[in-house]
Amino acid sequence: MTELDDRKIKILDAIIRNYLDTGEPVGSRTISKYSDLNLSSATIRNEMSDLEEMGYILQPHTSAGRIPSDKGYRFYVDNLMKEKNREVTEMKEFMIEHTTKMEQVLQQMAKVLATNTNYAAMITAPSYQRNKVKFLQLSQMDNDQILAVIVMEGNIVKNKMIPTREALDSETILKLNILLNTSLNGLSVEQINLSTISKLKEQAGIHSNIVGDVLDALAEAIQEDEDLEIYTSGATNILKYPELSDSGKASELLSAFEEKQQLVGLVNDTLASEENGIQVYIGDESPVKNMKDCSVVTATYELGEGMQGTIGIIGPKRMDYENVMDNLKTLKVQLDTVFKKPKKE
């Protein structure tokens, strides 16, 4: 008996669905009564015993019903779960109410996701590495500082103060601006590599060191943010689920959300192994060890040209996978339209 036969599958399905619903271990009698199999509880018991031996379900203790094991959940997610296909409209109205800044859009998205699912949600800004430079400007601030402003595709603006040895006259600044813009415009951040830089420096002549400083500073500014830009919402939803809310676990999880740094692991793992775009981590499968008692569902979204970001939901293993995945899928579509079509007004 190495394969699951049809009847076992039906029973496993029933057990898991029931458990997702109630959160209580489910017994043979329940399945016998509330399924269309028309089998006695005794028969179910035998089958359950087999399912347990095969590792799909387990008993919290001898005289309790069964709950799904990680393997069981995995089977459910891979084979049993039905995909909903909701209309994509619903979310829209919530989403963007004339927010022009990307941060706000993302923060808003996280909130919607958290509210819709009642789990904790996270979302990262798309990596800037492949984003293209659209505009670049230096301005003399005072005697020893230059302000550099960079605008990327999607109107993402970064700025940085650059300390300088001495003030530059306005003509030099103007020249530098023209030089930088003509050479870098349209390049992606990751394309600005050593050879580009040295070529630029050459062209800059006596100001080559300034150019170097500027590029360094920009790289730094972009890098700084890259680490941080994870938006979260509904972290406190975790407290709603008793299996996660006992003081120790809750505290660890909530810290992970507060620090955000720990979520990076999740993001990277998701970006690395892109399957159909949605990843489900059940318990120990998660790359973040604090989350071994949770399930994590993540998806990548793409903004064309390979710029991608990550969205994710963290909740109890007993999670409404169907709803979560539906939500993520919907949001994914939304994100595409939001960023691709430049917004008017």
Partner DNA sequence: ATTAGCACTCTAATTAAATGAGTGCTAACA
Partner DNA sequence: TGTTAGCACTCATTTAATTAGAGTGCTAAT
Binding stretches for its own copies (CB under 8 A): 100-101, 104, 134-135, 137, 139, 141, 145, 147, 149, 151, 155, 157, 159-161, 163, 224, 233-236, 239-240, 245, 247, 250-251, 254-255, 258, 344-345
Closest CB to its own copies among 148 and 266? 148
Q: Is the C-alpha dihedral spanning 98, 304, 219, 216 positive or negative?
A: negative
Binding-site string for DNA from residue 180 to residue 209, where x marks contact by CB under 7 A and - marks none: ------------------------------
Query: Is 29 near DNA (CB under 7 A)?
Result: yes
**Cβ 120 to its own copies, closest distance in Å?**
10
Query: Is 35 near DNA (CB under 7 A)?
Result: no
Read off φ and ψ for residue 303, nearest 5 degrees: -115, 30
**Cβ 26 to DNA, closest distance in Å?**
6
CB-based contact 167:152 (threshold 8 Å): no
Instruction: Using alpha carbons, select from 96, 95, 77 the residue that is nearest to residue 16.
Output: 77
Closest CB to DNA among 30 and 308? 30
Q: What is the DSSP letter of 331?
A: H
Distance between CA atoms of residues 111 and 198, nearest Å: 45
In the list 5, 49, 178, 191, the residue contacting DNA (rule: CB under 7 A) is 49
Which of DNA, its own copies, none sits in contact with 30, Cβ below 5 to 8 A by type? DNA
Query: Is 41 near DNA (CB under 7 A)?
Result: yes
**Cβ 13 to DNA, closest distance in Å?**
16
Which of DNA, its own copies, none sits in contact with 63, Cβ below 5 to 8 A by type? DNA
Q: What is the DSSP letter of 117?
A: H
Query: Is 39 near DNA (CB under 7 A)?
Result: yes
Strand, helix or coil at 63?
coil
220 is written with which tokens? 């730094």
Instruction: Using alpha carbons, select from 182, 141, 146, 114 the residue that is nearest to residue 327.
Output: 114
Query: Is 72 near DNA (CB under 7 A)?
Result: no
Closest CB to its own copies among 232 and 330? 232
In the list 5, 21, 34, 42, the residue contacting DNA (rule: CB under 7 A) is 42
Query: Is 45 near DNA (CB under 7 A)?
Result: yes
What is the H or E stretch that residue 211 is in? helix 208-228
* Burial classification of residue 257, based on how many CB atoms lie within 10 Å of its CB (0-12 exposed, 13-18 middle, 19 or more buried): buried
Which of DNA, its own copies, none sits in contact with 135, Cβ below 5 to 8 A by type? its own copies
Strand, helix or coil at 292?
coil
Instruction: Using alpha carbons, select from 183, 137, 144 the residue that is nearest to residue 162.
Output: 144
Residue type, 318: R
**Cβ 81 to DNA, closest distance in Å?**
23
Closest CB to its own copies among 190 and 224? 224
Q: Which stretch binds DNA (CB under 7 A): 34-42, 80-88, 210-218, 296-304?
A: 34-42
Distance between CA atoms of residues 33 and 38, nearest Å: 8
Residue type, 292: K
Closest CB to its own copies among 183 and 233? 233
Query: Is 59 near DNA (CB under 7 A)?
Result: yes
Residue type, 172: T
Closest CB to DNA among 32 and 262? 32
Q: Is the C-alpha dihedral spanning 140, 141, 142, 145 positive or negative?
A: negative
CB-based contact 211:180 (threshold 8 Å): yes
Which of its own copies, DNA, none sits in contact with 330, Cβ below 5 to 8 A by type? none
Can you give the binding site for DNA, defined by CB under 7 A? 24-30, 38-43, 45-46, 48-49, 52, 59-66
